[in-house]
Copies of this chain bind each other. A is one copy, B any other.
Amino acid sequence: MGKGRLEAFSDGVIAIIITIMVLEFKRPESVTFAALLPLLPHIAIYALSFIYVGIYWSNHHHLFHAAKTVTGGILWANLHLLFWLSLLPFVTAWMGENHAAPLPVALYGVVLMMNGLAYNILSHLLVRHEGAGSVIARAVGKDRKTLLSILGYVAAVLISPFLPALSLGLYAVVALTWLIPDRRIERAMKA
């Protein structure tokens, strides 16, 4: 099976996820600065989620760029990843409206964690399909970055009942470590 339509469909779903989050902003009740202010944390959290979805799109792009064909299992591992990504707009809106309340912060971390796991499963299936000597296998390696990120999310969820603001900070730090695009694949392709 070719990978073209899988990439196009994923692009479509990710493009919608990244954009519909903006529909959840509540319009300020009056046209004053005072009414606009409570929206700022929501916009900041939207920016964080936007960056996360951007990271997934960028890594997805790199991952499938190195792939040649896909199997039914890869197709469903990809849909599994898209499912968890699709829950980001909901947890973004809930956290955006309740700022650093513990439960929304924890749920946000759980969804990030499930996304990390889903991405890990997807990349492992691709490595197994392409073979040990393939570009993807060399590039993904042991994928320590995804595993470390998942540990970060778990830590943030455990901290959230006590210091939700610190959990939020952890989500931002993990995102920053990913903003540097995955040069492992680029390097492996040149080698």
Contact = CB atoms under 8 A, between A and B. Distances in A.
Contact of A16 (B15, B31, B72): B15
B9 A15 contact: yes
Contacts of A33: 103
Top 4 closest pairs, chain A to chain B, by CB: A12-B15, A72-B181, A31-B101, A16-B19
A159 B8 CA distance: 39
9 contacts: A2-B65, A12-B12, A15-B16, A18-B86, A27-B94, A31-B102, A58-B76, A72-B180, A72-B181
B93 A27 contact: yes
Interface string A11-30: 11111111110110101100
Copies of this chain, complex-wide, total: 4
B22 A87 contact: yes
A130 interface: no
A55 to B, nearest CB: 9
